[in-house]
Amino acid sequence: MVKHFEIMNRREEEISRIIEQLSKQTDGFENPKIVMIGGYALRAFTSLSRYTRDCEFVLKKCDGWNLDKIQKLLPKVLSTECFEKRDSYGFLRRIRILKVDGRSVKISIDFMEGEVRGRTEEQIFFITETFLQKTKKVKIPIAEKMAEIYVPDYADYLVLKLMSARPSDIRDIAALVWKNGVPEDLKERAKKALAHPEILEKNMKSIIDDISDKRFLDSWKGTFVTTEFTETAKEQVLKELKKLS
């Protein structure tokens, strides 16, 4: 029987190869400028990391579409699951089904141009020139290699996580706030970056409720496979987050 970590490692190896190829074809993610968000970008802000099958990127909206160029650059082994272009944003998802000892293992590479859109109409984050100027290029571990990639400014990355507030995002939020705190200007940044900044206040209750739950500690440890995070650390995170509510 294939072990879970073997499947996860196989996913990461494939994603590492795709990122390496895309970097070469875009002059190190400069042309067009591509910024990593999502679970892999978490590794830029903390030594903690978690496995994820999705690798997510954002680009600024251009005249025409950067996504058309990205679509042509990606390896042919990736099939197109979704490709849509609207007035102010576009979305491209390319996937690959890997075979690991007879089991099917899926990876997906997502590109969002112009805006990051969540599950509701309120979840809209603008990818602007200001956002791009604040990004930084870092090296993060993926599989056995180090990938050099742009990631958002910490405050922007945290706003993205707070806007989404899925269970996996909430565990990431706890890790981020524990290790880095909450930027003093977070609310001001959110007002400029979000179409509906009030969503942060709306989400904050469920985020605090989830982290306060007595089962959260075990869930967090299961995700990051470490016992570092304690009740004391959890209370520290809650204290910081309650300043935003």
225 and 172 assigned to the same domain:
yes
Write down how long the chain is.
Answer: 245
4 and 89 assigned to the same domain:
yes
What pLDDT does residue 207 have? 98
What pLDDT does residue 79 have? 97
The predicted-structure confidence for 99-133, as pLDDT tens digits, reads as follows 887 788 899 999 999 999 999 999 999 999 999 99
Q: Measure the CA angle with vertex 209, ends 233 and 182; round to 5°.
A: 50
91 and 49 assigned to the same domain:
yes
Structural domain containing residue 144: 1-152
More confident call, 235 vs 144: 235
Decide if pLDDT at 158 tops 50. yes
The residues, any chain, with a CB within 8 Å of residue 70's CB and separated by 6 or more, are 32, 34, 59, 92, 111
Query: Could you identify the residue written with the tokens 């909450």?
Result: 182
Among 152, 172, 191, give the residue marking a domain's end: 152
26 and 77 assigned to the same domain:
yes
How many domains is the chain partitioned into structurally?
2
What pLDDT does residue 2 have? 52
What pLDDT does residue 99 have? 85
Rounded mean pLDDT of 42-57? 92
The predicted-structure confidence for 17-47, as pLDDT tens digits, reads as follows 999 999 999 999 999 999 999 999 999 999 9
Under 8 Å between Cβ of 175 and 154: no
102 and 8 assigned to the same domain:
yes
125 and 194 assigned to the same domain:
no
Local confidence band at 1 (pLDDT 50, 70, 90 cut-offs) = very low
> Taking the CA atoms of the chain, what radius of gyration do you get in angstroms?
18
The predicted-structure confidence for 170-224, as pLDDT tens digits, reads as follows 999 999 999 999 999 999 999 999 999 999 999 999 999 999 999 999 999 999 9
The residues, any chain, with a CB within 8 Å of residue 182's CB and separated by 6 or more, are 158, 240, 241, 243, 244
Rounded mean pLDDT of 138-151? 95
In the structure encoding, which two tokens stand for residue 80, read together? 């197109």
What pLDDT does residue 73 have? 94
**Average pLDDT taken over every residue of the chain:** 94
98 and 182 assigned to the same domain:
no
What pLDDT does residue 102 have? 79
Local confidence band at 164 (pLDDT 50, 70, 90 cut-offs) = very high
pTM: predicted TM-score of the whole model, two decimal places: 0.95
Among 152, 178, 208, give the residue marking a domain's end: 152
133 and 209 assigned to the same domain:
no
